[in-house]
Amino acid sequence: MALALARLIRTLAGLIALVIVAAIVLFVLGANPSNAVVSAIHDAGAWLVGPFKNLFSIHNAKLAMAVNWGLVALVYLVAGHIIASLLARMSPRRRPVAV
């Protein structure tokens, strides 16, 4: 059970980071913000970034978003990995059955 939960947490952290990075790439490349897909990805990324949105004040908007949001994506990945590793360690080890 703990291993399945660890995998789920690792997967969710990866998907969250993927959404944030996709929003960064779309913004930096100048994707049309009125496009429904671009808007949805950006809105989801903005919600996931939350209070860390303007962590560093950088005058270049594209660089500021890449740095601030990129750091948040990295935090999600690291936190997910740490939590998943702790859960995996708590799971009972299976011993091979001698035949």
Structure tokens at 86: 């702790």
Mean pLDDT of the chain: 91
In this structure, how many other beta carbons lie within 10 angstroms of the beta carbon of residue 80? 21
Element (H, E) at 92: none
Which residues, in sequence order, are CB contacts of 31 under 8 Å at separation 6+?
A: 38
Backbone angles phi, psi at 35, to 5 degrees: -70, 135
- Model pTM score: 0.85
For the segment 37-44, the average pLDDT, to the nearest whole number, is 96
- Domain limits of the chain? 2-90
Q: pLDDT by residue (tens digit) across 24-37?
A: 999 999 999 999 99
